[in-house]
Amino acid sequence: MTSTARERLSALLAEGGGERSFSAARTAPTGDLHLEVRGVGAIKLPVTQAQARQLCAISRPARYGQGERTLLDRTVRDTWEVPRTRVKIDKRRWNRTLAPVVDRLGTELGLPAGSRLRAELHSMLVYAPGQFFLAHQDSEKDDAMVGSLVVSLPSASTGGALEVRQAGATATYHGSRTSLSFVAFYSDCEHRIEPVGSGYRVVLTYDLLAPGGTRPLPAATDAELIDELAGCVDEHFGAPDAPRRLVYLLDHQYTPRAASWCRLKGGDSRTAALLEAAAERAGCEVVLGLVDVHETWSASEAERPSRWSRHSRYSGWGDEDDDEDGDDVSGAGGGGDYELEELIESSVTLHTWVDPTGARESDLGLALADDELCAAIASEDLEPSSSEYEGYMGNWGNTLDRWYHRGAIVLWPRHRAFAVRAEASPTWALDTLLAKLRSGDPAVGRDLATTLEPFWGRVAGPVGTGEFLTKVLRVARLLEEPALASMLLWPFRLEMLGRSHAKAFAALVDAYGVEWAAALVAHWSGARRHYHAAGPSTAAWVAALPQLCGALGRSGAAGVAGARLLLADAQGWAHQTLDTARSQPAPSRREQSLADLGLPLAGVLRAAASVDAGDIRDELTGLLSAGGAGLVDCAMAVLRATPPTEWAPNGLRAVATDVRATLAGLLALPPRRDDDWSIEPPAGCACELCAKLAAFLADPTRTQLEWPLRQDGRAHVHRRIDTAELPVTHRTRRSGRPYTLVLTKTEALLERERQARSRFGADVAWLDRRPGPAASR
């Protein structure tokens, strides 16, 4: 006996949802089909072998589509395609047979009442003896396309059966020797053509389009079933900790562009009608959804491939152009047969929904929980849209990943509608809140905003740049409730704040006060510890602070106060980053890290000048001035990043003077003598090995050290030399015990000093060319 409301609902729909049709067949006389092929002439029915061979002579090998590619591979598809430009059909006469047959096929496929199928010729194919087409799915080449139609012309042939499969069920169709054979099936059904035994199989293939129609409606006799379904819905949402949604996975796949209540396939049409009626009775909203299902299974390769082994990995929804180069079908699948063993993990994501009015929401990316999901057919019983097998790799492997694109009916209680829709579309939620808050009744807006708290941090943070953050700032101010405002703003980080947000941010400072804003800035700043894709890097954001702080300064006193908060945070970041850069043991990395701080520090100084934050400006310029040789690279980078006309207001005039004096002092030191091989030892370790290394490095006359040393000792010395980028080679002479470590000082020591003096001289010359005497303070 089923134990949950979801399971009972699935069982009710499985039993009372009606027949789940996925294919249908008809036959008809040949009298209305007048077919000519240029180069062959009128085609006589039944098709003779002589005329079939003529068709092959003017045909070309048929291609097939795989993702964005059109391929020719006769191990996958071996058939002849007659160029469509050569095919001429008397449509007026042919439609007398085709139209009523297509109508009957649409009814048998279970399309909603009022949906009329239209058949558009796709190709003419000829299968010679031995030719075939492996299992595949047809891509939907039009928004209105729901399926395919194969019209087999009568001929004296054997083999070549058309097999169609969906959800584990297979239907097999053979041609006729005397009549036209029509087979229609939904485009998400996998199908194959068996090899032709003898004779020739000649077919016309059509795309089946359902351009119009109405939403499905339940039958008058369904009242009792709808009551039972509504009871399940009530029970599902009745518990105190009930899920926010109920999601019933449909049997068929639908492309995002073609999803429509009027074009549901097979039993999905009746299922949707029943669930919509049950939702209305249970006080719920309902939408047609599209979900992506991803499952990872432990699996092994099957010992014997099945007849339905698929030929290639499917690369997504087929969107290829329907040109004369291919049949525009996409292989669905797995690249082989595998035996599923145990489900390791699965995820279901709702990415699109369409409400009963036709309004569409896309790019939702909403993860669905297991306790929200139910289905009559498990995904594992369907053919995956794509799959990928990972063989045994030592510590992992023997896994099969499978992806499915399924339709779904999604329900939620009306009283939870705002929260459910907000979780799926945070932008919609903000627009709705803005409208409510501006309507003159902020209490309603506050009540709605409160419902966002359980999920807002998860769904809003990844969106939060640009106009979205502007809306959040505006809503937060209009709420007139500091705690709610903080909740809305908490998911973001400081680097998302830009010049376009200045006015809204200043209004927040004005509304809630500097203390509240300081707590917000501190929280946003702390978010730097966590990875987040949205927004620029901290260094780039600090470099752009002049634009943001300038805009805040023009917003009045509250804006200036907000700008000072941002500057104080940037000042703290600058100190921390300077300390990290100066502690780099490798000289090249240390120099580069300090040089990279030029733009951000120049940004802080310019931003401080824009809002008269002289204390922050003077503290940073004092640090640069007092940094001496250790910060000369950083100070020069700041000066080069700032126009000389801004040096005085940004406090850099004194920095330029002090840096020049430091550089002049370095240049005044006597150059290293050619026989001076002393190297400053690296700091950071005082062990016995490093003491001996330091003595060798400091010795101005000694260029080589032969040092018997065990492996762990050699490794330690190697690391110390390489980490500090010392101009010393190290090699191991592998004779005797222990081996001997040979250290040799290199000419790079002298070259580095020459390069440093050249750089110092270039920096002094650059400073001397700037307007105003750098030597005067």
Report how far residue 354's alpha carbon sits from residue 719's, in angstroms, rounded to the nearest whole number: 61
Judged by phi (left if over 0) then psi (alpha if -120 to 50, else beta), residue 309 lies in beta
The pLDDT of residue 331 is: 42
Count the helix, strand and coil residues of the chain and give each as a percent rounded to the nearest 5.
Answer: 45, 25, 35
Please choose, from the candidates 534, 610, 525, the residue with its C-alpha nearest in 3D space to the C-alpha of residue 574. Answer: 525
Report how far residue 610's alpha carbon sits from residue 593's, in angstroms, rounded to the nearest whole number: 27
Half-sphere exposure of 355 (CA within 13 A, CB side): 9
Considering Cα of 366, then 369, then 375, then 377, what sign does the dihedral take? Answer: positive
The pLDDT of residue 547 is: 96
pTM (predicted TM-score): 0.75
The pLDDT of residue 306 is: 58
The pLDDT of residue 20 is: 64
Q: SS3 for 353-368, per residue?
A: EECCCCCEEEEEEEEE
Those residues of the chain that have pLDDT short of 70 are 1-2, 17-20, 66-68, 113, 302-337, 392-397, 464, 529-535, 772-777
The pLDDT of residue 396 is: 60
The pLDDT of residue 685 is: 87
CA angle 291, 331, 312 (to 5 degrees): 110
CB-CB contact of 20 with 381 (8 Å): no
Using CA atoms, how far residue 640 sits from 372, 615, 637, 656, in Å, is: 59, 23, 5, 10
At a CB cut-off of 8 Å and minimum separation 6, what does 433 contact?
Answer: 445, 448, 449, 475, 478
Architecture of domain 688-746: 2-Layer Sandwich (3.30)
At a CB cut-off of 8 Å and minimum separation 6, what does 366 contact?
Answer: 349, 350, 351, 423, 424
Considering Cα of 531, then 535, then 539, then 542, what sign does the dihedral take? Answer: negative
Single-letter residue type at 147: G
- What's the farthest any 2 CA atoms get from each other in the chain? 108
CB-CB contact of 211 with 118 (8 Å): yes
Residue count of the chain: 777
Could you state, in order of their start, the residue ranges of all structural domains in the chain? 7-12+215-418, 16-209, 536-669+753-777, 688-746
What token pair was written down for 554? 């023009």
The pLDDT of residue 64 is: 77
- In this structure, the number of other CB atoms found within 10 A of the CB of residue 775 comes to 12
The pLDDT of residue 298 is: 87
Report how far residue 443's alpha carbon sits from residue 445's, in angstroms, rounded to the nearest whole number: 5
What token pair was written down for 656? 């330029």
Single-letter residue type at 539: A
Report how far residue 162's alpha carbon sits from residue 458's, in angstroms, rounded to the nearest whole number: 48
What token pair was written down for 404? 């499915």
The pLDDT of residue 318 is: 31
The pLDDT of residue 576 is: 93
CATH of domain 16-209: 2.60.120
CB-CB contact of 186 with 253 (8 Å): no
Report how far residue 123's alpha carbon sits from residue 64's, in angstroms, rounded to the nearest whole number: 12
The pLDDT of residue 393 is: 59
The pLDDT of residue 382 is: 83
Half-sphere exposure of 287 (CA within 13 A, CB side): 23
Single-letter residue type at 538: T
At a CB cut-off of 8 Å and minimum separation 6, what does 565 contact?
Answer: 514, 517, 518, 521
The pLDDT of residue 314 is: 30
Cβ burial of 26 (10 Å; 0-12, 13-18, 19+) is middle
| Helix segments in 261-396, DSSP class H | 267-281
Dump pLDDT digits (tens) for 320-365. Answer: 333 444 444 444 444 456 778 888 999 999 999 999 888 888 888 8
Please choose, from the candidates 215, 214, 318, the residue with its C-alpha nearest in 3D space to the C-alpha of residue 275. Answer: 215
Report how far residue 651's alpha carbon sits from residue 647's, in angstroms, rounded to the nearest whole number: 6
